[in-house]
Every structure is written in structure tokens, then in C-alpha cells.
Chains A and B, each alone.
Chain A
Amino acid sequence: MDKIAKVILLTVGLLLLFTIAAIASDTIELNQLVENAAVMDGQTVIVKGEAIGEAMERGDYAWVNINDKTNAMGIWMKSDDAKKINVFGDYKHIGDTVKVTGVFNRACVEHGGDMDIHSDSVIVEAAGYATAETFPFYKMIVAVGLALTALIMGVVYLRQIKK
């Protein structure tokens, strides 16, 4: 009985492992799409990346650019899907991580030859957040010290040339 239980556990474990591997391999990197654009043209792909900048609404649809650290690409999605994204990446934010399933176009006819993805589904996988801006204390000391030195030198110089 114990043996049977072990075999079942092992089988389920292996199944889960391969399922996870299969899911991971389904997601394609944006740079791979650029490098293999001719082959991937017109295919349904799954990409995952950070939403950056902002959503640009164009009627019922919107452009959202995502960056997966290998490259960045525009996703053409429904405005309602774009509204699901709350945080976009910029200097003070890490944007929502979105998983997009859609059709990849090497030179989209609808969008003037753009290399883009027309989304079928958009899922926010991880919520974005504001990044805390910290700076070392010594940086402030150095900045104040240098600024004061420059100020004193400037005043002395101006007095000298006025003489």
C-alpha cells in the first residue's frame, strides 16, 4: 500500500513538474519574437512583461507597451483590458506584470507595418508598486560640501572681477 502511495505521489509530482515546465515554455521572450519575426508572424503567442509608461487609448482599444527585460513591444488591446492595469512602470514605479495572449504581427497591416501583438486576453499576474527612493547619507554630505565650496569660490571670483 505504501509503495502504491509513493508511486502515485511521484507520478503526480512529475506531472505537476512537467505542467509547470510546459507553461513556462509557452511564454516567449519579446526579443525572440524580434529575432524570429518571419517564423512567428501571425501566430498566437503568450508574452509576459511589465507595463511601462502609460496606456494610450484610441477609441475602444488602447496601446500598452510592455517590457520583459529582453525588449519592449506594443500590445493592442481593448480599452477595458487596459483599465485592468493599475500601475505603469516609470522612475518611481514598477509596473504591473501582465500576461498577454494574442496574435503576433511582424509588420501589422492595420498599424502601418508596426511589429506588435493584438491581444486576445490580458491577465495582470503581479501588481506593480511604488519604489521607495533612498539615497545614502554620505551623498547628501558630499553634495552640500561641494555646493558650499562652489558657492564660496563663485562669490570670491565675482568680488575679484568687480574690483
Chain B
Amino acid sequence: MNTFKGRFYSIIIISYYTGFVVLGMSLLMVVPILTAMVFREWNPFLDFIITMAISTILGLVLIVIGRETRENKSFVQWKHGFVVAALSWIVLMVLCAIPYVLSGHVQSIVDAFFDVMSGFTTTGMVLTQDLDHLSVSLNMWRHMLTFIGGQGMIVLALTFLLKETGGAYIFYVGEAKDIDLVPNVKGTARIIWKISMIYLIVGTIVFWITGIIIGLNPVSAFFNGLFIFASSWSTGGFAPYTQNMMYYHSFSYEIITIIFFILGSLNFGLHYAVWSGNKKELVKNIETQSFLITSFLACAFAVVGLSKLSVYSDAVSMFRRVVYNVLSAHTTTGFGSVYARQFALEWGDFGILIMIVVMLIGGSACSTAGGFKALRVGIIFKSVIADVKRLLSSERNVKVFRFHHIKDQILADQLVKASAMIVICYIIMFSIGTAIGTFYGYPLSSAAFESASITGNVGLSIGIVAPAMPVVLKIYYIIAMYLGRLEFLSVFALIGFIIGGVKKLWTK
């Protein structure tokens, strides 16, 4: 008799898959452990051994609790996929924060949670203190988190650890990566990782050579190159030094980061199309069109706005300090080539407004970027034009409007509604963040800037994010980064699942 469909079958399924995700993350800790061994960093070595052991134990316990799922994979439903995605992120946030806490570089456990969530969500905000004295292994861990978070860690764990991935698409969508490059999700996930790994090798070599040219020693040039590539490609924004991009004092280094963070902010489907020889997709795709238009306008407005304030006197400075930061914000990377406080002190309200808008829009769907995505902006914009056209045309004409995204698609009302719903969710979250910021006494423009940066998973700061900021604000920012990255649905499913479970228990 099959007893699987009992009261707790959902919990069993969720436990099983969450266990694999935790186990997957635990295996990845081998990389910082090896790094610590190579550099003889014995304290971080022990920190990672402790974390890896705790993660392995927890992962195995969860898998054992859900062992019945092995024979009952057909019971996996959409809700399980969403809940596993949302729950795994919380469990991993706690586990991955252990090395931060043990390192002594964070002032509280909340700060450690903040930094891990910032890494996973490819936000790039930092509360870790004294970055200039951080071990290479912990730096490796920080940049790995952001790289893995960008590609999708649930996808990575489940497609590589499980032999059968019949229902894996459910988990895949749960992590806001709903694209089918090939008919099966395992193939799609492998393509995503293949694309990323090829770029990782090419990117690291390019940064390595450039690093040596700009005066870094070869070993440090390699690690700086690896870290900066990981941050650029995943549109993360972490860097190994306090000064972020300003540490390198190099135009060439900045140009290379621009290339990689723009590439990282493009849809994986677009990468695959171009790699498969369909180069026209680059021009025809609604997302690239939308991104090109918004980034050009934003850069132009920002340059004009800052010229009026005479902040920078020449074109090179304008490019390196204004265009660079606008593109970094728009792709939701968060690399900064100016000090955080310079935004507040020098950029003026207009400059800040431009940054807020581009940070909220963000990059492409199913990329490493955040924000409410160029695809949704394009769809909503096209639907407005379609509505105007419908108003102006005869009632007897029934027109079907289309847009091009990998393939020609019909602009259906359902799609427009879904896009608008996500955009509204983002705006609500941004507004709440701004309100909390102002409640704690920060100026409106600063509170809005920081809230947009957090909501869009960008990582640029105007100076609010600091260890001394109110705990409530830290917790809200953690929630906002998490919601923004998973695009709400998975988290709503987790909340619904918990409330449903509590209700059931209550009525029994």
C-alpha cells in the first residue's frame, strides 16, 4: 500500500529536494577549503571544514527524512518546486553565513546573513568589515556565492546531483529561470552552466593579463581577475577590496567589466541563440531593444544632468564616472567607480532619479541580472502602443499584436497582466523600503536610492548600508533582496504553504 500520500507528503518532498540543494552547496565548499590550504590560511580552513560538515549533516538528515520521495517522484507539484526554491535560499543563507561569522569580519549574525543574501541574489551590498584584510579563501567564497547565485543554485544542485530530473522544470521556474533552451531542463541547465564556464575561463584570462599590465603581480592578478569576472558576469558587484573598482585605477579594467556585465545581464536564451548561429536575434529581441533604448537614454540624461552641475570637466571622466555607474546600475551589477557618498553629495536629485529608474528596470529576464527586467518593460510598453492602436482602428478590425523574444510571440492579455503584476510588486517593495528609510531619518532621495538598489539587486550604495544602520532596515533589505531575486512567486508559495500547514494543524 502506498502510504506516501499521507498528511506530510509535501513536507517529505520538500525535505528531500532541499536536502540535495544543501548537500550540493556543501560540496562546493571544497573550493575555498583548497584555496585556504594553498595559501596556508588555517583559520578560514577550519571555518570552512566546520561549515561543510554542518551542511553535509543537515543535507543528509533532510534527504533521509524525505527518502520516500525517491520512489514517488510523480507526486512533485508546482507548489513543491516554489517552496523548495524559497526554503533552500533561507537554509543556505544561514549555512553560508557561518564562515563569515567565524572569520570575525562581521559585527553581527544579521550582517553575515545580509552579506550572504547579497551574494546569492547578486546584489553586491557589503556589511563585511575590513575587506582589505580578508583571507583569499573567504574572498573566494564571497565571489563563488555571487557567481552560483547568478546562474541558479537550485538548478545546479538538482541537475547535477539527481539522476532523474523529470519534474526539475518545476524547481527551475521556482528560481525565476523559466526558459527552455532545449526540450529537457537538464539540458537547459547544462547549457546555462556551459555558457557561464566558457565565459569564466575567457573572462578570467582577459582580466588576468590586464591585471598584470596594470601592475598587479601575476598571482594577485589571477585572483583579482577571477573575482572581478565572477562579479561582472553574475552582475554581482562584489570586489576584494574596500574601494571596489576604484582600487584598480584602470580604464581598461573598467572597460572589460562593462563588456562582461552587459553580457551577463543578457538573457541566456539570447546567448544560446547567438552561439547557435542566430546572430539576428541580438537585433530583433525585444529585450535587447528595450535595454539599448533605456540605457542610451539614461546615460544621455545622466551626462547632461551632471554636466549642468559641472561635476566632471572632460569626456573621459564623464564616461568613467557617469556612464560606467549608470550601466553598472542598469545591468544591476553594482560596481562603483565613485565613492558611495559622491552620489549624495555631487550627483544632484536628477542624477539620483536616473539611477533609481535604471536600477528598478534592471537587466534581462533569465539572466544573472535583477530588477523588473527589460522584457517586462518591453511587453508593457508594446501593450500600451497596442491599446492606442486598437482605440484608433475600426472596431471591426481584430488585430493581433506580436513581439519577438527568441521566437515570435503573441502579446496576450494574460502575459501583459503577469508582467504588470510583477512590476507592481517591485514598486510596492521599493516604496516600502523608501518609507522605512525615511522613517529612520535618512533623506528621501537617499532612502529611495538605497531601496531601488536593494529591490533591483544592484548593490550600489549611497551610504545608508553600513553596520551601524538600524536592524529593522537590515532585515527588510534582506527580505527585499530575496523577494526581488526570486520574483515573489516562490516566496509567496512558501508563505502560503506555511500558513496552510498551520491552519490544518489548528483545525485538527
Contact = CB atoms under 8 A, between A and B. Distances in A.
Given A74-B243, A150-B57, A91 B316 contact: no
A55 interface: yes
A153 B243 contact: no
B215 A57 contact: yes
A53 B249 contact: no
B132 A153 contact: no
A8 interface: no
A148 to B, nearest CB: 8
Interface residues of A, number: 46
Contacts of A147: 49, 52-53
Nearest to A33: B339
Which size bracket describes the interface of B in this complex?
35 or more
Interface in A85-108: 89-92, 94, 107
B50 interface: yes
Contacts of B134: 91
Contacts of B346: 37-38
B339 A71 contact: yes
Interface stretch (B106-114, B226-234, B317-325): B317-325
Nearest to B135: A91
B135 A62 contact: no
B241 A135 contact: no
B41 interface: yes
Interface string A29-54: 00000110110000000000010111
Contact of B49 (A56, A72, A143): A143
Contacts of A84: none
A157 B42 contact: no
B216 A54 contact: yes
Nearest to A63: B249
B214 interface: yes
A139 interface: yes
A143 B60 CA distance: 18
A25 B294 CA distance: 48
A146 B49 CA distance: 8
B54 interface: yes
Contacts of B60: 150, 153-154, 157
A26 interface: no
A56 B135 CA distance: 20
B220 interface: yes
A34 B50 contact: no
Contact of B57 (A58, A90, A115, A149): A149
A112 B53 contact: no
Nearest to B132: A52
B160 interface: no
Contacts of A71: 242, 339
B241 A112 contact: no
A71 B314 CA distance: 26
Contacts of A139: 46, 50
A58 B132 contact: no
A112 B317 contact: yes
A142 interface: yes
Contacts of B57: 146, 149-150, 153
Contact of B249 (A50, A94, A114): A114
B42 A89 contact: no
B179 interface: no
B50 A146 contact: yes
Contacts of A112: 251, 316-317, 319-321
A142 B314 contact: no
B106 to A, nearest CB: 16
Given A112-B320, A143-B53, A90 B133 contact: yes
A113 B313 CA distance: 8
Nearest to A82: B215
A150 B52 contact: yes
Contacts of A135: 42-43, 46
A111 interface: yes
A65 interface: yes
A149 B317 contact: no
B247 A53 contact: yes
A31 to B, nearest CB: 8
Contacts of B135: 91
A133 interface: yes
B479 interface: no
Interface in B93-121: none
B118 to A, nearest CB: 20
B251 A35 contact: no
A86 B17 CA distance: 52
Contacts of A38: 345-346
Given A109-B313, A115-B338, A153-B56, 17 more contacts: A34-B339, A34-B342, A52-B242, A53-B132, A56-B214, A89-B133, A94-B133, A107-B317, A112-B317, A113-B312, A113-B321, A114-B249, A114-B320, A115-B342, A133-B41, A143-B49, A147-B53
8 contacts: A54-B216, A113-B314, A113-B317, A146-B49, A147-B53, A150-B54, A153-B56, A153-B57
Nearest 8 A/B pairs, CB to CB: A113-B317, A56-B215, A146-B53, A150-B56, A150-B53, A112-B320, A113-B321, A52-B132
